Structure 1
Amino acid sequence: MLRALKEDFFLTLTSLKNQFWVYIGTGILIQTLVAYLVKGILSFIFRRILILSNTPAVTKDNWTLLFNHPLALLLFILYIVILIGFIYTEFAIYTIAILKTEFSLSIKKWLTIFPKKIKSLLGPQLIWVSIYLLLTIPLANLGLRSSILEHLKIPDFISGELTKTVFGKIGYSTLLLLICYLNLRLIYFLPLTILTDYNAKEALLESWKLSRGKHQWRLLSKIILTSLFISVIGTVALAVVAGTFSFIDHSGNNFPLQATFYNLLKSILFAVTLLIKCLIISHLLADIKQNKSIVQQWRAWKGVQHKQKFKHIACVILALAIGTTALKNAIALALLQDNISIKKELIAHRGDTSHGVENSIEALKAAHKAKADYSEMDVIMTKDHKLVVIHDDNLKRLSGMNKDVSKLTLDQVTKIPIHQGRFASHIPSFAEFMKTAQSLDQKIMIELKPYNQNLDIYADEFIKEFKELRLSTKHKVMSLNLTLIEKVEKKLPQLDTGYLIPLHWGTLQNHNVDFYGIEEFSYNDWIAYLAQEYNKQLYVWTINRDNLMIRYLQSPVNGIITDELNLFKVINKDIKNSPNYYQRALQLIDSEG
């Protein structure tokens, strides 16, 4: 085993030495295609789909509209075909670039069979391609993810809810391990579809054969060894660059120098990710080359290489790509102060759950003690049309009882004990919770959860209780249900109302609400810009990881909904105390973690 690891290590070194600039050049070329061509084409088609579907955006509530118009459906199929075509082309370029030094492969000749290759992946074979792509989503940027899919992941609000219980954590972790295993067994899929006449199903089966037995463990060791080796080199390079620029510019305020510093850091991170991907592909190709029949197939792609002509074109593209990216990074660094200057409100998600059961009086008091700007909570209507504070309609997760709040009376619900971790409490009524908040002078962000109930009755009951309690309009109210929150806005316009958006693709509509709450998965700068244009506040949820906290504290959002109150305060303080470009550049890099 040690001998095999030694051989793999030296193979990595040799590949890195011989093809370093091939890897870098190919990676920059592909990133340029993604940024300036592929994303533009896909965005154009997607906008046409939205227009034909008569909707400005796709959400969890209206995604079926995509299939109501025949032409929209055809464009959606075209969108998928182009997406698969690019993913396939991306890895084909990497594969041929790596192999062409040894086999003098011609990309021009390969392109002549490209239509046939794409056709073999469509039709009934599209099912197998889709299965493979879906299996890569939970692993974020690990393995052989395509550049166009690098930000696609399971939304945190889904994984977060799945891991709220011990059983959920075990189940979710087991599922991820299974997906990792399947990714390892199917890792030869893309190279095989590129280098052979296999259709998608045949390539999956062949990959399963190639990665069976002891070979899968050696393959795993190659991937781990390669990733560790390149990561260590990258870490050392980052440290050297950071130390050098800290020494050159003690104040950290020389913008040209610090813009160069930021660009170098970004370049190193890009190179690390790219080299790991290329070296993994190189290892896979080394394994596939053991099959002589496959080698014989790609020998047919040999052709005359127009090296000088290709090099000139490549140099122009690379120069433009590097220059444009460097300028974009410099602008991002320069504009960062504008985003930092926007006060970020701290919203305790279901209270401070590190000191009490979620949505409990204890969690509310702890959130107030932690000086949260708002304590967020959830409201459900009982069978007798009264409001209680709890997130799930079903009581099993917190009480162990398989009963629904919406099918019980107020008196029944408030007598049920609840437990979470080492904490115990009871389910408070809306009145009890808000009276406690009033006594603490704590602002509340109220989420209305109707759970298939009559929206008019729900809205009227909420407004009735709100008025009876003589609650201050400094509180905010929001809902995932747009119809419900617009009813509240119409009947109680002096109250700040908000629309919660969990999944969103497209433009942001100017709804009759005062603010938006968007899940991190769906956030982008365009949505933030539109919210500002509409003169509405924008909150993002649920931010619990260090890199995401840094990213959104440096974004133009107005507030962050989080379970990690201390993390928010520590990072926010660090950002506020970062007066120079050097520190801001490091924080931007940390946010990309």
Structure 2
Amino acid sequence: MDAGDVKMKDLKNSFVHLFRFLKDTMAYFRDVLLLHGFMLFVLLPLLTSLIKFILRQGHISYLSYDTIGIILRDHPGVLLSLLAVLLAIMIGVFFEFTFLLISVFFIKKNEPISLSQLLTGTLIQLKKLRVSTILFFLVYFLLVLPFGGLNFNSDLLAKVKIPAFLLDYLFANRVPIIAAAAGIYLILFYFSIRLIFALPEMILRDRRFAQAVKESWRTTKGWNFLRLFGQFVLIGGSVSLLSSLGYGVVIFLQSLIETHLATYALPSAVIAMTVMQFIFLATIVLSTVGIFYITVSFMDDLGLLVILPTWFKQSADEPKPVWSLGKVALFLVITLLFGIGVGSYNTNYLSNYSLKKPLTISHRGVSEGNGVQNSLAALAKTSQLQPAFVEMDVQETKDKQFVVMHDFHLKELTGIDKRPNQLTLKELEQLNVRESDQTEPVVSFDDYLTKAEQLDQPLLIEIKATPQDSPDMVDRFIQKYKDTILRHDYILHTLDFDVAAQLKEKVPAFFVGYVMPFNIVGPPVSNVDFFTMEHTTLNRNFIDAAHDDGKEVFAWTVNDEDTMTRMMFYGVDGIVTDNLSLLNHTIQQDLTDPTYSDKLFYFITGIG
């Protein structure tokens, strides 16, 4: 058989694997749901309560990067306890990974396995754990699986939040960081494929660490590398495509019913939402086991999984258990209760869940291009639209004053090839900003405050921090403007986490926000009062998590009616926009009148 025939056979096998993977969906449900249920409702609450108890014993209010030094220096008992919890989390994740890997292995081998035997096999692997294995697993989990094309989503680590100072560093160094991240991603992607079999080799074939790594490296080179990559793309893409099509068909059918059979709109919406929840559940199951299925299938094709584990006892000749009347009755009762619970929740969600009226916030002090950004003239015009806040930008000047300016470089707005902090305030006030065929002078923060006070217009002040700022910039800002800000209930936010933390620490009465261009893993650990989040990655999970932490969420920059309505449905506390008139109109028209189809769409897009 020549190389071309081999490649065609491999391509055919890829689609065969895809078909079998989707066909066996129901076989994965028991193990995945049992495990997710245990992690979510038993282990996670237990570990969360334990961490809170440990912190309370050390009189530490919260766990973040800025409390690590205190813990290291003053609380060795807390440190050891937290390390023990971290070890427990890693063991729990290893248990989760091993349990699912063994489960998929037996499904692929078409060998029925009882839950007790599955747990036995998993516990046997736990007994073999060594420090080196845990360290390798940590590297494998964090640096291999996320870049393999399908993620192993662990409930235990899904709650980990990225500290805000790391996000701040990324935002402040976007160009070099993005370039470096792209290079690192390609490297990690390559290693993720080459090392993908290492841990399964250790678990399914009892290989030692060095032997498992060597075997994985040997079997994933050349054409096998491309085959694995193709499998990830095919299965991952197919799962996403099928779920998207499923959601689309359900929403389309619901919209037809609302148009032609309005009397049945609510009952059909309840059914439609239930179907969408099932699709979402199936997507979670398939996404969770996808990484395992690809790995096991490929290893099986290579002849690496020819024998079953010695601890497994085949039960093919034993008669299948017959359900007694009691078991059938119990199953029916549980199903009925579950159906009633889901139906009640869905009915309540579709009938009573309304949109939340957000604060209206003008972006850079303009609306529909009614003036030059951050200018006094635009402030006067925009104030007539009565926004809850006008958002504007402040930077430090060369002579340690403060100027109203958004850009970190003056070239685009003024034609001057300098940064604002390279000129004095007097020099900056001699410049004109040109935008949308309009021209206005650069204005000092003092003059902007005076105009806002005259107009009785509340402000959302964004402090644009730069590496060239003076060390005492925050202190001087507070000293000069604290009374004015508090007297008029102005609020502040910034992209620089350190500045946000200082503002809140030095003046607790300030209402301070942290600006996040994107949502990675939920709200970061911080002491701020609110987050300002770029709307394209903002979802209901982030907002609910922030609200649970006692923090508000503002969405920026939202300029179309559909997104405004969706943000209100998610429950954002404020919307930053370039079009205040549209936002005001949307709030008046859409605040209490979304269709059931809209609610279904918001539901599915808001849980990601």
Q: Does 1:129 align with 2:144?
A: no
Does the CA contact (< 8 Å) of 2:145 and 2:152 recur in 1? no
Does the CA contact (< 8 Å) of 2:243 and 2:283 recur in 1? yes
Q: What is the one-letter code of the residue matched to 1:99?
A: F
Q: What is the one-letter code of the residue matched to 2:22?
A: L
Residue pairs, 1:74-473, within 5 angstroms:
74-101=80-107, 102=109, 103=111, 108=116, 111-112=119-120, 114=122, 117-118=125-126, 123-135=131-143, 142-150=150-158, 158=167, 162=171, 169-198=178-207, 203-204=212-213, 206-246=215-255, 250-251=261-262, 255-290=266-301, 295-296=306-307, 298-303=308-313, 308=321, 327=341, 330-331=344-345, 334-335=348-349, 340-347=354-361, 360-361=374-375, 368=382, 373-382=388-397, 384-389=399-404, 405=421, 409-411=424-426, 428-434=443-449, 443-448=458-463, 452-453=471-472, 456-463=475-482, 466=484, 473=488
Does the CA contact (< 8 Å) of 1:446 and 1:476 recur in 2? yes
Q: Partners in 1 of 2:145 and 2:160 — Cα distance?
A: 6
Residue pairs, 1:490-509, within 5 angstroms:
497-498=511-512, 500=514
Does the CA contact (< 8 Å) of 1:446 and 1:475 recur in 2? yes
Q: Partners in 2 of 1:568 and 1:121 — Cα distance?
A: 57
1:340 deviation in Å? Answer: 3.7
Q: What is the one-letter code of the residue matched to 2:231?
A: K
1:221 deviation in Å? Answer: 1.2
Which secondary structure does the structure 1 equivalent of 2:88 belong to?
Answer: helix
Does the CA contact (< 8 Å) of 2:530 and 2:552 recur in 1? yes
- Match in the other structure for 1:559: 574
Does the CA contact (< 8 Å) of 2:543 and 2:570 recur in 1? no
Which secondary structure does the structure 2 equivalent of 1:85 belong to?
Answer: helix
Does the CA contact (< 8 Å) of 2:462 and 2:493 recur in 1? yes
Q: What is the one-letter code of the residue matched to 2:167?
A: I
Deviates more, 1:341-350 or 1:368-377: 368-377
1:346 deviation in Å? Answer: 3.8
Does the CA contact (< 8 Å) of 1:32 and 1:321 recur in 2? no
Does the CA contact (< 8 Å) of 1:105 and 1:301 recur in 2? no
Does the CA contact (< 8 Å) of 1:375 and 1:444 recur in 2? yes
The 3 A distance-change label for structure 1 pair 435 and 580 is: same
Q: What is the one-letter code of the residue matched to 1:274?
A: V
Does the CA contact (< 8 Å) of 2:274 and 2:343 recur in 1? yes
Deviates more, 1:135-144 or 1:565-574: 565-574
1:379 deviation in Å? Answer: 3.3
Identity of aligned residues (%): 21
1:405-446 CA-to-partner distances (Å, cap 9, x unmatched) read 4x97534666799999x9999975313544666788764201
RMSD value, Cα: 5.4
Count of residues in correspondence between the two structures:
571
Q: TM-score, normalised by structure 1?
A: 0.74
1:35-56 CA-to-partner distances (Å, cap 9, x unmatched) read 2123212222221233134233
1:523-543 CA-to-partner distances (Å, cap 9, x unmatched) read 453652674xxxxx8233567
Q: Partners in 2 of 1:409 and 1:144 — Cα distance?
A: 54
Which secondary structure does the structure 2 equivalent of 1:592 belong to?
Answer: coil
Does the CA contact (< 8 Å) of 2:103 and 2:118 recur in 1? no
Does the CA contact (< 8 Å) of 1:383 and 1:410 recur in 2? yes
The 3 A distance-change label for structure 1 pair 236 and 388 is: closer
- Match in the other structure for 1:534: none
Does the CA contact (< 8 Å) of 1:415 and 1:427 recur in 2? yes
Which secondary structure does the structure 1 equivalent of 2:66 belong to?
Answer: coil
- Match in the other structure for 2:36: 31
1:285 deviation in Å? Answer: 0.7
Q: Partners in 2 of 1:211 and 1:366 — Cα distance?
A: 65
Q: Partners in 2 of 1:475 and 1:246 — Cα distance?
A: 43
Deviates more, 1:27-36 or 1:516-525: 516-525
Q: TM-score, normalised by structure 2?
A: 0.72
- Match in the other structure for 1:493: none
- 2:45 aligned residue (33, 40, 43): 40
1:488 deviation in Å? Answer: 4.9
The 3 A distance-change label for structure 1 pair 458 and 432 is: closer
Does the CA contact (< 8 Å) of 1:5 and 1:222 recur in 2? no
- Match in the other structure for 1:12: 18
Which secondary structure does the structure 2 equivalent of 1:57 belong to?
Answer: coil
Q: What is the one-letter code of the residue matched to 1:50?
A: L
Q: What is the one-letter code of the residue matched to 1:215?
A: N
Deviates more, 1:128-137 or 1:436-445: 436-445
The 3 A distance-change label for structure 1 pair 13 and 456 is: closer
1:452-489 CA-to-partner distances (Å, cap 9, x unmatched) read 4275543121247x49xxx9826434575455346556
Q: Partners in 1 of 2:47 and 2:163 — Cα distance?
A: 22
Q: What is the one-letter code of the residue matched to 1:192?
A: E
1:160 deviation in Å? Answer: 11
Where does the alignment leave 5 or more consecutive residues of structure 2 unmatched? Answer: 1-6, 517-521
Which secondary structure does the structure 2 equivalent of 1:300 belong to?
Answer: coil
Q: Partners in 2 of 1:171 and 1:400 — Cα distance?
A: 30
Where does the alignment leave 5 or more consecutive residues of structure 1 unmatched? Answer: 491-495, 532-536
- Match in the other structure for 1:585: 600
Q: Partners in 1 of 2:138 and 2:581 — Cα distance?
A: 41
- 1:73 aligned residue (76, 79, 82): 79
1:117 deviation in Å? Answer: 3.6
